[in-house]
Amino acid sequence: MNKLLLTALVLGLAGCSLFSSKVEANANITGSVESRCIVNTDTPGVYGNPNAYTLTTTPASGGQKPIVRFDVSLANAYYAQVSYPTSFSSSPSLSDTVAWTGAVAVSQSSGSDFDGYQTASTTTGALRQYAMAHAGTLWVDVQSEATYGGGQQKAFPGGNYTAVVVAECVAQ
Amino acid sequence: MCRSVILWVLLCTSVAAHEMTPTYPKWSVTQIEGVHKTTMRMFNKREDVKYYEIGVFDKEWQPIPFVTDYKILKLDYLSHVKFDVYISSKNVGRAEYICSLSKLRGSKETKTMIASKICSRFK
């Protein structure tokens, strides 16, 4: 009788250990599918210097327009907002004024749903806002130009100039 | 169907991206009286960015005091982080947005840099 009980106990423990080792071997991978907006910095911009007093991202002047991509997974959940620069974040010492101009425009999208987005967008100063009424992807490029000398066409001092484009996803 | 596939491919192949969820967080009570908290998640797929600044704002984009482990979070490339934001219960009704803003390094080139910002909203 004792032998029978002992055998059952041993078999039970062995079964438990097999079971527990199986549980420990599991590696969980968790994830979620939910509303989200992703800001992608697809292309960094470059300023061209077509003349002494202008820095511009226009490709014809040796510049490169920065391109931002917004991926939105749920319709009517986010505003995509992009602002062109209105100051340098780093530059040589500048004694005269810099005049800034810029433009933000849709360059590409993932479907025809986005066709009217540029027309429907709104602006506040340097910021342009797109109401993301559809799930999908929107590419936005930014034109930026800085002119030195307050209309006197003075030459920019030599050195490196950096300006910041702000790309935002704001929940509606 | 085709559009969904394209969107998924795009979402999975982002080159340099900044992501924060949930879109609509909720405040929950804590064990400390007068303090509420919410939990956010972030993912950094921007190789050029290692730090993100967290902010809580009201409807007029005025800052609201809050507490986190770090106001500027270090988030390595391809890393996820889950962080708690604590706020005084008296400000729960005022808090409208919680945002993360990429912190950019200085550059020695003549170029434009892109700062990314994502704001979730309390509804």
Asked if the C-beta of B46 comes within 8 angstroms of chain A's C-beta atoms, the answer is yes
Helix (H) or strand (E) holding B68: none
pLDDT digits (tens, 9 = 90+) for A95-134: 999 999 999 999 999 999 999 999 999 999 999 999 999 9
Q: How far is B24 from chain A (nearest CA, A)?
A: 8
- The answer on pLDDT for B15 being more than 90 is no
A93 has pLDDT over 70: yes
Q: Do A77 and B106 touch (CB under 8 A)?
A: no
What average pLDDT is seen over chain A?
88
Entry pTM: 0.82
Phi, psi (rounded to 5 degrees) for A12: -60, -45
Please check whether residue A75 is in contact with residue A37, taking contact to mean a CB–CB distance below 8 angstroms. Answer: no
pLDDT over 90, % of chain B? 74
Q: Tell me whether B112 touches chain A (CB under 8 Å).
A: yes
> Confidence band (pLDDT; 50, 70, 90) for A16?
very low
Closest CA to A101 of A35, A10, A163: A163
Give the model's pLDDT for residue A3.
62
pLDDT of A65 above 50: yes
Q: How far apart are CA A24 and CA A122, in angstroms?
A: 55
| Inter-chain residue contact B21 with A144, CB threshold 8 Å | no
Note whether B44 contacts A: Cβ–Cβ < 8 A: no
Q: Dump pLDDT digits (tens) for B54-81.
A: 999 999 999 999 999 888 999 999 999 9
Max Cα distance, chain A (Å) = 109
ipTM score for this prediction: 0.84
Using DSSP, state whether A5 is helix, strand or coil: helix
**Closest CA–CA distance from residue A59 to any residue of chain B (Å):** 13
Distance (Å, whole) CA B87 – CA B85:
7
